Amino acid sequence: MKVKKLFLVAGIVLLVVAANACRKQEDTSGTAAIKKADLLKVGVKADVPGFGFFNTSTNQYEGLEIEIAGLLAAEILGDAGKIKFEPVTAKTRGPLLDNGELDMIIATFTITDERKLTYNFSTPYYTDAVGMLVKKSSGIGSLADLDGKTVGVAQSATSREAIDAAAKRIGVTLKFSEYATYPEIKAALDSGRVDVFSVDKSILNGYLDGESVILPDEFSPQPYGVTTKLSNKPLADYVDSLIQKWLSDGTIVALVERFRL
């Protein structure tokens, strides 16, 4: 009897050890929570053509960042369709990742040294630059024409620092107005409250119309990375290894060509 009991206890201990080992194995990619939900929750842009854009005629998101999200869902969940896309802005994306509502952000999120202290970023899948949108009727042709002018920028974006540094280098002094969203900046440009709308060129493309033009000037490279929580290093490493693979095997180049970026 005693021997039987001993075997029973030993058996239970073995089972627990084995179960723990399995759990640990699953967690090496940091995807346990995503697998449990059987859904990948991704923050994307809805207004950046070719990157993250909500097409109102098809009711679908489209663009490079949407495709990358699909590839990640296929790897993690075996199904590119198991995604919930959540539209984000420069201001909302960080908090939505912090509070656990989203698993990752793939939304023109520029990798900076400062942001690396708060989030994990993958290797860049694309690099853009900061540009300027002006009204054709303004006669503004470059940064040199902007002395004393007002630049509309988004809160929590890299744009203000980038354009201000470039202006200072050529002795131009700028004023700034900060807005929460891009439609607000475009409205301010249209009504003359700001002289320039400055952000990444990819984003400006979504606001270009017959009355406006994107100037040839560009400042500060903007490398975009898949952004994950700082606390989940295994997920960041796993995502990064996949991005690196898709960069080297031509997958991302093909997508960049497909969306004409």
**199 lies in the site for ligand GLU, by CB under 6 A:** yes
Which of 158, 198, 212, 228 binds ligand GLU (CB under 6 A)? It is: 158
**67 lies in the site for ligand GLU, by CB under 6 A:** no
Longest C-alpha distance within the chain, in Å? 96
CB burial of residue 115 (10 Å; 0-12, 13-18, 19+): middle
Binding range to ligand GLU, per CB under 6 A, among 75-83, 135-143, 196-204, 233-241: 196-204
Say how many residues touch ligand GLU, by CB under 6 A.
Answer: 12
Binding range to ligand GLU, per CB under 6 A, among 1-9, 51-59, 171-179, 195-203: 195-203
Residue 157 in contact with residue 130, Cβ under 8 Å?
no
- How far, CA to CA in Å, does 40 sit from each of 34, 36, 73, 121, 178? 6, 10, 6, 17, 32
**157 lies in the site for ligand GLU, by CB under 6 A:** yes
**109 lies in the site for ligand GLU, by CB under 6 A:** yes
Cβ-based nearer residue to ligand GLU, 76 or 199: 199
Round to whole Å and give the CA distance between 94 and 211: 33
The amino acid at 227? T
**31 lies in the site for ligand GLU, by CB under 6 A:** no
How many C-beta neighbours within 10 Å does residue 184 have? 15
Binding range to ligand GLU, per CB under 6 A, among 103-111, 166-174, 232-240, 253-261: 103-111
Cβ-based nearer residue to ligand GLU, 46 or 235: 46
CB of 200 to ligand GLU, least distance (A): 5
Round to whole Å and give the CA distance between 92 and 156: 9
CB of 226 to ligand GLU, least distance (A): 13
**185 lies in the site for ligand GLU, by CB under 6 A:** no
Binding pattern for the stretch 202-231 against ligand GLU, x by CB under 6 A and - elsewhere: -x------------------x---------
Two tokens, residue 175? 């004023």
- Coil, strand or helix at 17: helix
**110 lies in the site for ligand GLU, by CB under 6 A:** yes
* Nearest partner of 135 among 204, 209, 206, 47, judged by Cα: 209
* Nearest partner of 108 among 146, 77, 68, judged by Cα: 68
**Interface of this chain with ligand GLU, residues 77 to 96, rule: CB under 6 A:** 90
**200 lies in the site for ligand GLU, by CB under 6 A:** yes
Extended strands (E) in the chain: 40-44, 47-48, 52-55, 60-62, 83-87, 104-105, 119-121, 126-135, 150-154, 175-179, 196-200, 212-214, 219-224, 227-229
CB of 255 to ligand GLU, least distance (A): 18
Residue whose pair of structure tokens reads 């700082």 in the numeric block: 230
**34 lies in the site for ligand GLU, by CB under 6 A:** no
Interface residues toward ligand GLU, by CB under 6 A: 90, 108-110, 154, 157-159, 199-200, 203, 222
